Amino acid sequence: MLSKAAASALTAVTILASAASIPVFAVNEEFDDPEDDKVSQNEVYDDLLNETPLDAPNVTGTSYILFDTQSNQVLMGRNIHQALEPAGVTKLMTVLLALENLELDDTITVTADMYITIPEDYVTLGITEGEEVTVHDMVYAALLQSANDACMALAIKTSGAEIQFVSEMNTRAQELGCDPSTCHFTTCYGNGDITNTCSVEDMAIILNECLKHEEFTEYCTTFQHTMPPTNIYGDTRIISNTNRFISTQEYSYPNYTGGLTGYSETVGFTMASAASKNGRTLIGVIFGATSSENRYSDMINLFEYGYSGFQTISIESSEFTPLYNETISQIEGTLLKTDLGIIDSEMEFSDYLTTTSYRVALGSSNLIDLSDLIIDSQADDQNFNIPICKVYSDGKKYIVGNLRLHIGIKDKVVEVNPEKHTVWASLKNILLTIIGVTALIIILMVALLYYRNKARKRSDEEYRSRSKVL
């Protein structure tokens, strides 16, 4: 017996009769290309932005975003696609390229180009020409103190010149999925150039990639780093973390795992931060905060609401197996009086889905949505991507996967997944049959020879007995 979800979906697969009483299905172009969305999650990526919970925190600033790294979903935000100046948060892109292209124990020989163009009122570590420093120490200086000369040193070490490095920043950002219409870096450290822009969404993508490097979190959460003497500077340098999540009691946040802050006169205060709690990692980015303090308090409120107001659930394919079997059986039944049959089918899923905690508490059902599945009975070969959904009790539907369906002429049909029937499998069955028949023939021949020999011996014994009597 079909479940309610399966039955309601399958009613959409109907047979229409032509003038010649031939079963006819029409074609729906939405699902006829298997390359359209491997797993259709576009509908849920920023779907939660359409909902505004009454108890959601009020974030001050021009734009902000809260992003779940497991499900790759935007939980909350405002103006997430607006191009703004990220200011010092730009350094995250520089650090990412350094971690990807340099060894931490590489030596950097300081040149004047690494500091001479930096404005005097900008934060610097104070490296000097000819000094030999390590990538390890420059990354610490960039992340803990937002040292602009340390960023220039990393950039020039990586690419030879800042202009070349900036080009590589933009190329890498696009590779990660940043929007080229909003993400356009012109500096490696954020020098107040209003043409150096990205959106909060772009920066969330960049920070998410930084988190894939284990040492990144170690650097960002270090309270203080001691840089040893160099060939020119004879004393140690103490590099203290200026991020208030680490350096203060008032804004201390134990779940903080990495990020940077910035400021410029044109955009105001900026921040990109990541936090991990109970196995979930969230990323928050705020551009245009009205004060340094507000961005910290707003970010903590964002994170805490993200952990309490939303839940991320894992999508287990096994829970959809009964529905899959019912659906395949029903489609096969519908195709019985046609020349078509299912050649192949398989399910593909996203790993996670995030929705509101309230919705999760209501409960959900599973659905393979056949409402737009219309098959052309005269087409020899057809492929469909059919949405697999979770439907919550409030009516909210999320696409969490695809059922890939390949329909063709029945003489091409082998067997539906999960146990695919191949040409070798067919040959194997034939060979096994031949071997069985051959074995049976051999057994019969052996038995025949055995009884013939036995009969011959018995005849010989009778002949010898008669001879003795005579």
> How sure is the predictor about 28, in pLDDT bands with cuts at 50, 70 and 90?
very low
- Given a contact cutoff of 8 angstroms between Cβ atoms, the answer to whether 347 and 366 are in contact is no
The mean pLDDT of 322-337, rounded to a whole number, is 93
> How sure is the predictor about 426, in pLDDT bands with cuts at 50, 70 and 90?
low
- Given a contact cutoff of 8 angstroms between Cβ atoms, the answer to whether 287 and 262 are in contact is no
The residue among 329, 324, 322 whose CA lies nearest residue 403 is: 324
Looking at the fold, whether 22 and 122 belong to one and the same domain comes out as no
Looking at the fold, whether 200 and 88 belong to one and the same domain comes out as yes
**pLDDT tens readout for residues 382-425:** 999 999 999 999 999 999 999 999 999 987 555 555 444 445 55
The mean pLDDT of 149-154, rounded to a whole number, is 98
Percent of the chain whose predicted confidence (pLDDT) is above 90: 73
Looking at the fold, whether 285 and 389 belong to one and the same domain comes out as no
The mean pLDDT of 454-466, rounded to a whole number, is 68
Angle (CA) 282 283 284, round 5°? 125
What average pLDDT is seen over the chain? 87
Looking at the fold, whether 106 and 255 belong to one and the same domain comes out as yes
pLDDT attached to residue 377: 85
Looking at the fold, whether 41 and 108 belong to one and the same domain comes out as no
* Distance in angstroms (rounded) separating the CA atoms of residues 134 and 230: 10
Structure tokens, 203 = 């920066």
Residue 76: half-sphere exposure toward Cβ, Cα within 13 Å: 27
Per-residue pLDDT at 441 exceeds 90: no
pLDDT attached to residue 436: 81
Looking at the fold, whether 444 and 385 belong to one and the same domain comes out as no
Looking at the fold, whether 244 and 351 belong to one and the same domain comes out as no
Structure tokens, 39 = 């797993």
Looking at the fold, whether 387 and 438 belong to one and the same domain comes out as no
Domain boundary among 385, 412, 439: 412
CATH of the domain at 268: 3.40.710.10
Residue 417 DSSP SS3: coil
Domain count across the chain = 3
pLDDT attached to residue 31: 34
> 439 or 190: whose pLDDT is higher?
190
pLDDT attached to residue 37: 43
Looking at the fold, whether 83 and 192 belong to one and the same domain comes out as yes
pLDDT attached to residue 45: 85
The residue among 370, 354, 467, 434 whose CA lies nearest residue 75 is: 354
Angle (CA) 233 237 241, round 5°? 150
**pLDDT tens readout for residues 78-102:** 999 999 999 999 999 999 999 999 9
What φ, ψ does residue 202 adopt, rounded to 5°?
A: -55, -45
The mean pLDDT of 2-16, rounded to a whole number, is 39
Terminal C-alpha separation, the chain: 86
Is 310 within a domain?
Answer: no
**pLDDT tens readout for residues 38-70:** 444 556 788 899 888 889 999 999 999 999 999
* Distance in angstroms (rounded) separating the CA atoms of residues 325 and 335: 16
pLDDT attached to residue 84: 98
Residue 255 DSSP SS3: coil
* Distance in angstroms (rounded) separating the CA atoms of residues 386 and 101: 41
* Distance in angstroms (rounded) separating the CA atoms of residues 321 and 4: 15
Percent of the chain whose predicted confidence (pLDDT) is above 70: 84
Is 104 within a domain?
Answer: yes
> How sure is the predictor about 2, in pLDDT bands with cuts at 50, 70 and 90?
very low
* Distance in angstroms (rounded) separating the CA atoms of residues 296 and 366: 40
- Given a contact cutoff of 8 angstroms between Cβ atoms, the answer to whether 206 and 176 are in contact is yes
The residue among 103, 299, 97, 56 whose CA lies nearest residue 189 is: 97
* Distance in angstroms (rounded) separating the CA atoms of residues 382 and 89: 49
| 315-324, 344-353, 422-431: segment of lowest average pLDDT | 422-431
Looking at the fold, whether 452 and 399 belong to one and the same domain comes out as no
Domain hosting residue 375, numbered range: 4-45+317-412
Is 56 within a domain?
Answer: no
Looking at the fold, whether 27 and 98 belong to one and the same domain comes out as no
Angle (CA) 82 83 89, round 5°? 115
One-letter identity of residue 152: M
* Distance in angstroms (rounded) separating the CA atoms of residues 90 and 70: 24
